[in-house]
Chain A
Amino acid sequence: MQNEQTFSRRNLLAWALRAGTGGVVAALLLRATGHRAAAQGRAVWQLDPRKCIQCGRCETECVLQPSAVKCVHGIEMCGYCKLCFGYFKPNAPRLDEAAENQICPTGAILRKFIETPYFEYTINESLCTGCGLCVKSCTNFGNGSLYLQVRHDRCVNCNTCRIAERCPAQAFTRVSEDAPYLLKEKL
């Protein structure tokens, strides 16, 4: 008889603990999911090109090698310069497509003649490492039409972006997956 009583008491305690745990978790979740009802889909990482200072960490800090951050060309902003600051080194021996003249360490920028004196520049993304050297030069001396973006065909959308944590300019933000790019020409 006494045994049964202890068992039922123990049973009651067990159910109280279960209910208590469930209650605490439910309260936590209610508070966590409350209020800002807009944030329902997935959020993805993106960097704001207006804040970016081209420190070069996008190339090295990404968990992916090569990085998911690539240079993109907002061609609407481009001046089609013959002497492109994003393409040529400051002390380039000659202004042609030879490797020693180029800023890009991997030769990922393609230069194509359009008409005198204009050239078109496009990015070969499979070569780009996201180092931002061309971006820095284009932003400082040119129109700033080259800029860095997280490319969402590559990005694995880590819960915490390693680049975001190391970004000195704190340029990384979470954006909605429906509009996952921050295009400089449209900002």
Chain B
Amino acid sequence: MRPGMEERFLMRAVWILSGLFAGYSSAESRFPKPQFESAYTAPVTPYPPVHEILAPWADVAVLAVALAVATLLIYRVRSRRWILVFSGISLLFFGFMRQGCLCPVGATQNVVAAAWHGGGLPLYAAALFVLPMVFALFFGRVFCGAVCPLGMIQEFFIIHPVHVPRRVEAVLRLVPVAVLGIGIVAAVNGAGYLICRSDPFVGLFRRSAPLVMVLVGVAVLLVGMVVARPYCRYFCPYGVILEWCSRVGWKRFEITQATCINCRLCVGVCPVQAIAVPREQLPERARTFQFKRFVRVLGLAPVVVAGGILLGWLSGRVVASAHPDVVQLAAFEQAARMGSEEGLVDVEAARRNGWSAEVVAGRAAATVERFRRGMAWAGGFFGLVVALRMLQLTRLRRLTQHEADRIRCVACGRCYPACPKNQG
């Protein structure tokens, strides 16, 4: 017999035997802890405490201070250079040092999910969520302008912003509304936080991420070289909320404190197409036409909302596929197709918990039903926003000078140095 042969034989025997009894014997009793003759002391397994960059309330305080400084720079100092410097500091601190979670954008889901389930949200999370909104209600989107790390990383990639055609922009700007709706429905119904999962930059901030995440992040930054801030304008769900707060907000961002001479220089430098250009009062006939159009769109609004609800209901199944119940059902279906459960860990996990294919199917059906209902609500919200925006298009306000559009303006301050009235 070769050396080691008996050991191998023994090993196989133990393997098979213990395999037989694996389900029955309690784990502790299999191989009792030995009584050592030598003076042996077992090593202590280290359990490092939570790696914390900032204590929760320090986190909130830093955000509040950052928002206050940003407001000061945008409204009092009114200097693009200082805003840019502060953007860099924000990017380094909130992005690369603080490394993401929990951020106000993602906290939207925590807040709504907690409200839906009747509480349990830590106060600091609520504070993180609400601070940028409070500032937006008073001063517009200063959070987007010089604090949010997702915005700041794109800010530094704006090389040659092109003008996105108005119609394309109008369609693309509906995406954030849909993302907000879907994200909230998924969070409330337990399918995880889709808004966080689709954050393209957090991997770059942590300098460690799955390849796909890095590639998407880099791709968004590259697109951002020609289409300024694509994530902010055409994806960010928190932006939808801040836009609303900014629209009803108290103070507005002013390109110049002097009188505008309508030189159009600010239009050229604004990367996000946020400058409203002067418009004459329409002649009487055109106004009648506009009014008729307004009435027609108003009549159409219920149809748009109903369409949204239908669309939401139909997409419920797709959104539900992120939920673990539905994932498990998909695994069972795959097992049925393949005729074997080999390697399907979702099936294995269900079997261990004693859930049969029928139980899983029943639960998945109930989940899909919940998602359909939730998505119908989200679709209705989406339809309402579409209808309101259509109505907005028929309302042409008279404007005598160039001014920053409260909704689109992210307060980057590029128009300050461009305006000849600001010089000297």
Residues of A within 8 A of B (CB): 14, 17-18, 21-22, 25, 28-29, 31-36, 39-44, 53, 55-57, 63-65, 72-81, 83, 85, 88, 90, 92-95, 114-115, 118, 120, 122-123, 139-144, 151-160, 162, 164-165, 168-170, 177, 180-181, 183
Measured between alpha carbons, how far is A39 from B119 in the docked complex, in Å? 10
Q: What 9 A-B pairs come out closest when comparing CB atoms?
A: A79-B31, A35-B119, A160-B193, A55-B345, A153-B48, A168-B349, A32-B114, A36-B120, A17-B248
A160 contacts across to B, CB distance below 8 A = 106, 109, 192-193, 196-197
A92 contacts across to B, CB distance below 8 A = 8, 11
Measured between alpha carbons, how far is A142 from B214 in the docked complex, in Å? 40
Measured between alpha carbons, how far is A35 from B50 in the docked complex, in Å? 26
B196 contacts across to A, CB distance below 8 A = 158-160
A65 contacts across to B, CB distance below 8 A = 208-210
A33 contacts across to B, CB distance below 8 A = 114, 119, 121-123, 126
Decide if B285 is an interface residue (CB 8 Å cutoff). Answer: no
> CB distance B111 to A28 under 8 Å?
yes
A154 contacts across to B, CB distance below 8 A = 51
Q: 24 A-B contacts, Cβ less than 8 Å apart?
A: A18-B248, A32-B126, A40-B122, A53-B352, A57-B345, A73-B45, A78-B33, A79-B32, A83-B7, A83-B11, A95-B7, A120-B43, A155-B50, A156-B99, A156-B206, A158-B196, A159-B106, A160-B109, A165-B324, A168-B346, A170-B324, A170-B349, A177-B52, A180-B50
> CB distance A152 to B51 under 8 Å?
yes
Decide if B14 is an interface residue (CB 8 Å cutoff). Answer: yes
Binary interface profile of B, 103-117, with partner A (CB < 8 Å = 1, else 0)?
100110111101100
B49 contacts across to A, CB distance below 8 A = 152-153, 180
> CB distance B45 to A39 under 8 Å?
no
A34 contacts across to B, CB distance below 8 A = 118-119
> CB distance B349 to A55 under 8 Å?
yes
Looking at B120, B331, B346, the one whose CB has the most chain A CB atoms below 10 A away is B120
Give the B interface residue count (CB, 8 A).
Answer: 85
A41 contacts across to B, CB distance below 8 A = 56, 122
Measured between alpha carbons, how far is A38 from B211 in the docked complex, in Å? 38
Q: A77-B27, A164-B192, A169-B349 are known contacts; what are 10 more A-B pairs with Cβ within 8 Å?
A: A33-B126, A36-B119, A53-B348, A65-B209, A76-B42, A122-B43, A160-B109, A160-B193, A168-B327, A180-B47
Decide if B102 is an interface residue (CB 8 Å cutoff). Answer: yes
> CB distance B50 to A143 under 8 Å?
no
State how many angstroms separate the Cβ of A13 from the closest Cβ of chain B. Answer: 9
- Which residue of chain B is the closest to A160 with respect to CB atoms? B193
* Residues of B40-60 whose CB lies within 8 A of A: 40, 42-43, 45, 47-52, 56
> CB distance A162 to B11 under 8 Å?
no
Measured between alpha carbons, how far is A117 from B306 in the docked complex, in Å? 75
B51 contacts across to A, CB distance below 8 A = 152-156
Measured between alpha carbons, how far is A79 from B213 in the docked complex, in Å? 42
Measured between alpha carbons, how far is A45 from B205 in the docked complex, in Å? 20
Measured between alpha carbons, how far is A57 from B197 in the docked complex, in Å? 17
B133 contacts across to A, CB distance below 8 A = 25
* Residues of B14-31 whose CB lies within 8 A of A: 14-15, 18-19, 22, 27-28, 30-31
> CB distance A31 to B115 under 8 Å?
yes
Binary interface profile of B, 265-282, with partner A (CB < 8 Å = 1, else 0)?
000000000000000000
State how many angstroms separate the Cβ of A118 from the closest Cβ of chain B. Answer: 5
State how many angstroms separate the Cβ of A12 from the closest Cβ of chain B. Answer: 13
Decide if B100 is an interface residue (CB 8 Å cutoff). Answer: yes
User: Known contacts A28-B111, A115-B38, A160-B192; is A168 also within 8 Å of B100 by CB?
Assistant: no
Decide if B365 is an interface residue (CB 8 Å cutoff). Answer: no
* Residues of B190-207 whose CB lies within 8 A of A: 192-193, 196-197, 202-203, 206
State how many angstroms separate the Cβ of A35 from the closest Cβ of chain B. Answer: 3
Decide if B299 is an interface residue (CB 8 Å cutoff). Answer: no
